Chain A
Amino acid sequence: MKIAVCIKRVPDMDVRFKIASDGASLDETGVKFDINDFDAWAVEAALQLKEKAGQGEVVVVSLGSNAVQETIRKALSMGADRGIHLQADKIPFDGFAIASALAAELKDGGYDLILFGKLSPDSSNGVTGPMTAELLDMACVTAISQLDIADGKGTAKRELEGAQEIVEFSLPAVLTVDEGLNTARYPSLKGIMAAKKKPLESKPAQLGEPKVKVEKLELPPDRAAGKIVGEGAGAVPELIRLLQTEAKVL
């Protein structure tokens, strides 16, 4: 089983973002970065599949500046076998540009599975996995929360609004990972030491022509300060009044 996992380095979301002077990018000073959570679950899924099969290779791929090598090392310290860094000045916003570069790299890799996260919180777009699958003309199942692979076939579960889908697919396939599939392991000290010696190849990304452009970034207006209606059940009548007359939702 040869598995590739595409991982993205993303900013920590638990901050107040600042917009850079160009008005169309973020000021990254003081922002911390780490692997996208969905991608960590994808790495975990790949490691579990390899462990279950008793053999195989897990290759992690990340596109971006040299800083993404740190993200790749993290995946290697979790247990991935080798890393590929596709160099670009920065991570483009455009999903097609990224998908093209990933597809060019993965095309002749002979992978049985290529895993993605379902979404990256910074782009909030969720398109790179299925777009890459189309460019590679591979089977694709998105946002899976359960996975079973046997005899060259897979079964996965997807969450829909108020329902679930059971999906069957043939290998090779592209899968995008949702929350709930697993819990990602922490790198062990041994893993961190071993990762330093694992191969990490770095080469220029063959980015596709960007199709979308960020013209402007803005911070959304803060919600107007609300009010504490009162304490305990005694505040309920006043709340009902406000919902009827002020908010007009009742």
Chain B
Amino acid sequence: MANILAFAETRNGELRKVALETVTAARKLADATGGEVHALLVGAPGVAAKADQLAQYGADIVYVSEHDGFAQYNPEATAALAADRVKSGGYRAALFATSALGRDLAPRVAGKLAAGIVTDVTAVELTGDTLTVKHPINIGKVIATVTIAGTPAVVGLRPNTFTPVANAKAGRVENVSPSVDPAATRVRVKETLTGSTGKLDLAEAPVIVAGGRGLKAAENFKLVEDLADAFGNAAVGATRAVTDDGWRPHSDQIGQTGRLVSPELYVAVGISGAVQHLAGMRTSKTIVAINKDKEAPIFKVADYGIVGDVFEVVPALTAAVREARKGH
């Protein structure tokens, strides 16, 4: 019997989708050996209200730590709390999301526990005593099967890969106090600047419309935004050529040195398909490319391509998508 800890990521007091993905993956691991899933929920007073949702997705117990010092992400106090929870819970594995927050938090926890860690995994399995993960390496060009020895193992899950599955459990709430004073840490998040609210993030959007240098100028990104808007559930991404020129912020950049995404549908608009860009999006389920050069490498990974001028094709596509989605 192996119990699994799932870190439930929040932002501004709300659970992020990756929190449900983490609990879902933990449930599957725990069920393999008849173990329990314990979730760890950290935030400002009031965050305990979210425990219910974690129970819906399979948490047997939700450890909740509420403190004013957790209103923003508090790396040191959260890592100390998570490491202490892992020690007292004796978990076989502690799961995190490989989000911006999880990328920061998970290795700190592993460092404190002197534990083995693999991040950005696309599969995780517990058979007997062996914890095995699949981890894309070399910018996704090679898939490694990796075993993590010793207990606990720290695992970071690739976002948008473990689909949340409802599987209600008791979700008994246990309150825990911070292990170190969140108000007295060496590293402090002063503020979190959120972009325009209500916009879907690249990590969570089922559809991504990404634009490249083929759009010619910053103001033409309107074409991409309009197409994203027509889909209704799309986020906007960009290539490095675009972020380097300041047409879009670096946080929109998809690729080797930007974001890794794998949406249901990826629409590449005026993007050549350089290897560094492909590294960030090649695992998308369906890829559409619009490019005027029929030799562009993006067509090698695209399921559907249209050879043509973005200024002609994209407005027509936007209108057609609007039409197709009428009534949604």
A54 close to chain B: CB less than 8 A: no
| Identity of the chain A residue whose Cβ is nearest the Cβ of B279 in the assembled complex | A13
How distant is the Cα of A118 from the Cα of B150 in the complex, in angstroms?
A: 26
**Interface pair B307/A231, CB less than 8 Å apart:** yes
Which segment, of A60-68, A104-112, A160-168, A192-200, faces chain B?
A160-168
Contact with A along B27-62 (1 / 0, CB 8 A): 000000000000000000000000000000000000
| Identity of the chain A residue whose Cβ is nearest the Cβ of B266 in the assembled complex | A249
Which segment, of B86-94, B164-172, B210-218, B315-323, faces chain A?
B315-323
Contacts of A53 in B (CB 8 A): none
| Identity of the chain B residue whose Cβ is nearest the Cβ of A216 in the assembled complex | B145
Partner of B201, one of A162, A219, A236, A247: A162
**Interface pair A212/B117, CB less than 8 Å apart:** yes
A window 58-87: CB within 8 A of B: none
**Interface pair A214/B145, CB less than 8 Å apart:** yes
B251 to chain A, nearest CB (A): 5
**Interface pair B144/A216, CB less than 8 Å apart:** yes
How distant is the Cα of A95 from the Cα of B114 in the complex, in angstroms?
A: 11
Partner of A159, one of B11, B135, B251, B315: B251
| Identity of the chain A residue whose Cβ is nearest the Cβ of B195 in the assembled complex | A162
Contacts of A191 in B (CB 8 A): none
| Identity of the chain B residue whose Cβ is nearest the Cβ of A103 in the assembled complex | B111
| Identity of the chain A residue whose Cβ is nearest the Cβ of B131 in the assembled complex | A212
Q: Contacts A216-B144, A220-B136 known; A228 to B325 CB distance under 8 Å? A: no
A34 to chain B, nearest CB (A): 14
Contacts of B119 in A (CB 8 A): 125-127
Partner of A13, one of B264, B276, B285, B325: B276
B window 256-315: CB within 8 A of A: 256-259, 264-265, 275-276, 279, 282, 285-288, 294, 299-309, 312-313, 315
B116 to chain A, nearest CB (A): 3
| Identity of the chain A residue whose Cβ is nearest the Cβ of B257 in the assembled complex | A179
Partner of B108, one of A130, A215, A216: A130
A120 to chain B, nearest CB (A): 10
Contacts of B111 in A (CB 8 A): 96, 99, 130-135
Q: Contacts A96-B116, A160-B192, A229-B305 known; A134 to B108 CB distance under 8 Å? A: yes
B129 to chain A, nearest CB (A): 14
Interface size class of A (residues with CB under 8 A): 35 or more
B187 close to chain A: CB less than 8 A: yes
A window 117-147: CB within 8 A of B: 118, 121-135, 139-143, 145
A52 close to chain B: CB less than 8 A: no
**Interface pair A143/B103, CB less than 8 Å apart:** yes
**Interface pair B193/A166, CB less than 8 Å apart:** yes
**Interface pair A243/B313, CB less than 8 Å apart:** no
Q: Contacts A99-B111, A212-B148, A214-B144 known; A243 to B116 CB distance under 8 Å? A: no
Partner of B191, one of A11, A14, A139, A166: A166
**Interface pair B120/A125, CB less than 8 Å apart:** yes
Contacts of B287 in A (CB 8 A): 223, 226
A149 close to chain B: CB less than 8 A: no
**Interface pair A13/B190, CB less than 8 Å apart:** no
A130 to chain B, nearest CB (A): 4
**Interface pair B110/A127, CB less than 8 Å apart:** yes
Residues of A within 8 A of B (CB): 11, 13-14, 16-17, 19, 26, 37-38, 93-96, 99, 118, 121-135, 139-143, 145, 155, 158-170, 173, 179-180, 208, 210-220, 223-224, 226-233, 235-237, 239-240, 242-244, 247, 249-250
